[in-house]
Amino acid sequence: MTLTNCREDSAIVELVGDLSGARTWIGAAQYSNVEIRPADFESLEDYKKSRSSSLQKGLRRRRRKLAALGDVKYECITDPDRFTQVASHIVRLKLEWLDNYGLHGRFLARQGLDGWMADIMARAARKGRLHMSVMSVGGRICAAQLAFQSRSKITGYFSAFDISLSSNAVGKLHLEDLIADMFAQSLTLDLMPPSDSYKCEWGVEVMNVAAYTVPLTPLGAAVSSVYSVKTRALAKSVYLRLPNAVRAGIAAGILNAARKAKRLISGSRRASALPKPTSLVVKAQKD
């Protein structure tokens, strides 16, 4: 069993720990999630004063440069007729960002991802749980954050920005406007793990998070000695040291091989679970 982004206070830790036959947990990728809490400050201006002056000056300078390209606008998308278009656009922005750095995203490589994302946006909106914010320049979306809303918190899920405008820090400018939105609504903004350096510029680390592999059988323990969250983390660190030009091709090949192996194993299991055929009788009926 693999657990990712597992909070130290989560119920799953206690649940899995009580499973009979569970072997030693293999832990890796320990980090924290970052939150911005308006309740910790008297006002938005008080919060801004707590951030570094270099961050504030840099954002003001980049916002002026971005405004020279067209009208800069922050808005929340609530019209269901726009969900499909927005989902398709932000997935494309994320793919372009990955391609620029020679990366390959397993999640983003799935067929029909934009349609699935538009669907979860629609379902969350119907329940009053959607917070889909975008920043546009000259009418074109250049940064976005798909998040889910509760009574007291906004939880970030999927963010993207236009890599062609990265010199203007459009991702940070959008986050600055999103934080202002959170202060206006007195909502905590959870940026989700891992606690990347850019997130720590804005908020504080509040909860330890880790990934675990939990072998449940002797065979699982043997497999975990070769493949676990720890070996995956090691492989990823080696992979990220490769030149950008070769990363995406290697990752795509590995993931494709893994998908084929998974389909082969799943197919064998399904086939073995099917009952043996006995006889088949087909009766023709007249109208």
Give the chain's domains with CATH numbers.
2-32+210-255 (no CATH), 33-205 (3.40.630.30)
Whole-model pTM: value is 0.74
State how far the Cα of 252 lies from the Cα of 258, in Å rounded to an integer.
Answer: 10
The rounded mean pLDDT for the chain is 82
Phi, psi at 33, each rounded to 5°: -100, 155
pLDDT of residue 287: 36
Residue scoring higher pLDDT (219 or 29): 219
pLDDT tens column, 110-133: 889 999 999 999 999 999 999 999
> At CA 214, angle to CA 211 and CA 215, rounded to 5?
150
Question: Which range, of 75-84, 91-100, 247-256, averages the lowest pLDDT?
Answer: 247-256
Strand pairing class (72-76; 130-137): antiparallel
What span, in angstroms and rounded, lies between the C-alpha atoms of 15 and 187? Answer: 30
- The type of residue at 4 is T
In order, the DSSP letters of 117-175 are: HHHHHHHHHHTT-EEEEEEEETTEEEEEEEEEE-SSEEEEEEEEE-GGGGGGTHHHHHH
The identity of residue 178, as a single letter, is L
pLDDT of residue 242: 75
Residue 18 reports pLDDT greater than 70: no
Question: Which are the contacts of 120, defined by CB distance < 8 A and separation ≥ 6?
Answer: none
- Dihedrals φ, ψ of 205, to 5°? -80, 125
Residue 191 DSSP SS3: coil
Strand order from edge to edge, sheet including 2-7: 2-7, 204-213, 26-36, 188-190, 153-161, 140-149, 130-137, 72-76
Instruction: Give yes or no for residue 90 having a pLDDT over 50.
Output: yes
Q: Which tens digit of pLDDT belongs to each residue from 179-218?
A: 999 999 999 999 887 778 888 889 888 878 878 888 878 8
Most confident of 66-70, 96-100, 101-105: 66-70
pLDDT for 126 equals 96
Give the residue among 147, 143, 136 at the shortest CA–CA distance from 185. Answer: 147
Q: What is the CA radius of gyration of the chain?
A: 23
Spatial separation of the C-alpha atoms in residues 150 and 120, rounded to whole Å: 15
Tell how far CA 49 is from the center of its chain: 29
Average pLDDT over residues 21-41: 77
